[in-house]
Amino acid sequence: MQYRGARRLLHLSALGLLPVLSACGEAASLGASSPLGPEARAFRCATFNGPKRSTYDEFFGINDREEIVGYAGGLGPYEFHPGKRYEIRRFPGSVDSELTSLDNDGAVAGWYEAAGGRIYGMTEWRGIWTNYSGPHAGDAMRILGIDGSDLVGYYESRQGVDHAFATDAARKFRTIFRSSTSSVASAVNDRGQIVGWETVASSAAEGWLLAGKRFANLAYPGAVLTQPSGINKSDEIVGSYEDASGNTHGFILTQPLKAPRWREFDEPQASGETILEGINDRDDLVGYYQNGSGRIVAFLCR
C-alpha cells in the first residue's frame, strides 16, 4: 500500500530548490459557515491552483493557524500561508520529499527518498530536520501525522507489508498490531487518539480509531473502501471512501465512539474524486479534487 495523499501512487520526481512564490486561487461559495458541527454546517470553500508551473496541487494538513502543507506536481512539497505565499521545502539532499502534516507549534512531518532510494520519515521544527528509520534494516518509513511529540505513520517491510506505528511523549516507538494484511496510521490528535486504515483479507480497506486501548472500526455505510486521514481534538474525523460504483468522495464523521454520524462531502466544483485530508480544531477542512479538465486542485473549506 504505497501512500500518496489518501490513495495516490508514490511519484518519484527530482526536485530543485525554488524561490518563494505568490499564492493564487479562486473562491466558490457554499454558503456562510454556521456554529453547527461539521456534520451539519455549510462550508465556504476556496480552491487553489498552486504555485506557478505546478501540474497539480494537493493540500494534506492544516493547523489552527491555518498554516497548510501540500504538494505541487513538478515542483515538490510546500508550506502555504493563506493569502500570503507558498514556500517549497524538502529534506536537505533528498531526491523527493513530502510534507504530510503539521501541528500548532509549526512542526511539520512527512517522508523523503534518499539518493539510494531508501524512504525515511522526517520532521522539521525551527529549521532543524530529523530523519527516522523503521525498526528493521531496509524498512521504508513514512510519517503521516504529528501532534507535539506524537508521531504516527507506517513502515513497509522488505516483504512489502505495511505496519502502522506510533510514538509517545518519550518518543518510544510501538507497532500498532491489527489482524489485517497491512495497516496505516494516518493522523493523531492532541489527546493521543489515532486514526488509520487497514487492508483486510478481502482486499477491502476499512478505517479504524484507536482511543487509549480501544479500537473502533470505521466503515462508511455501503462503501467498499474507507480511509480516514485526519482527526481533531473533538474526535471529528475526515477522510475518503469509495462507493460501489467506484466513485471517490470525502467524508466527515462525528461522535465515532458514541453515535457515529457520517456525512458525504464533495467539493462543489469536483467532476471526479474528492479527497478530504485534514481537519483542524476550528473545523477547517483541506484536501483536493479533480475538476472537469482532469486537473487535481487543492481546496480549503471554512
Length of the chain counted residue by residue: 302
What is the model's pLDDT at position 99? 98
Instruction: Read off the amino acid at residue 159.
Output: Q
Angle formed at CA 105 by CA 94 and CA 228, multiple of 5 degrees: 70
**pLDDT tens for residues 273-285?**
999 999 999 999 9
The whole-model pTM stands at 0.87
- The pLDDT, as a whole number, for residue 179 is 67
Beta carbons within 8 Å of 48's beta carbon, 6+ residues apart: 23, 24, 25, 57, 59, 80, 297, 298, 299, 300
pLDDT score, position 35? 47
Q: Hey, what's the cell of 240? A: 475518503
pLDDT at position 204 is 83
Residue 246 makes CB contacts below 8 A (sequence gap 6+) with none
Q: Which pLDDT does position 64 carry in this prediction? A: 96
184 within 8 A of 162, measured Cβ to Cβ: yes
- Rama region for 31: left / alpha / beta (φ>0; ψ in -120 to 50; rest): left
- Write down the pLDDT at residue 158: 84
Reading the block at residue 301, the C-alpha cell is 473549506
Task: State the CATH class of domain 21-28+43-293.
Answer: mainly beta
Q: What are the structural domain ranges in the chain?
A: 21-28+43-293
| Residues lower than pLDDT 70 in the chain | 1-36, 169, 179, 201
Give buried/exposed letters for 106-137 (b at 16+ CB in 10 A, else e): ebbbbbbbeeeebbbbbbbeeeebebbebeee
Name the CA radius of gyration of the chain, rounded: 18
